[in-house]
Amino acid sequence: MQQPVLSFLRNTYCRSIYVYGTDRFTQRDGCKGIREDYREPVKEYFAETYDAKYLNEALQNGWINQQEYEETKALMTPYESVPIMRNSEEPM
């Protein structure tokens, strides 16, 4: 039986991968990778919470691969050019 997704863990994984680059979706680059059952919820949370700037930076820095980039981008609204987070706000 699959356990429920814990929001604090999902949010932490999201920041660790997309914002800080301290973890990856899968084991690579010396990172352990996140639990498989959190991969899709992390992408969904990112798409709902962050703007394309963070997604592009994560790809450029090698924190996510092209496939992860495409999967996440597909979840983002067409209004991604309107930042959800203001530049003066730090990601939590």
For residue range 11-45, what is the model confidence (pLDDT) as tens digits? 999 999 999 999 999 999 999 999 999 999 999 99
What is the residue-wise DSSP string for 30-47? Answer: TB----HHHHHHHHHHHH
Return the pLDDT at 30.
95
What average pLDDT does the segment 60-88 reach?
79
Return the pLDDT at 1.
64
**Is pLDDT above 70 for 87?**
no
Angle at 54 between CA 39 and CA 92, to 5 degrees: 75
Return the pLDDT at 67.
97
What average pLDDT does the segment 41-62 reach?
96
d(CA 23, CA 69): 15
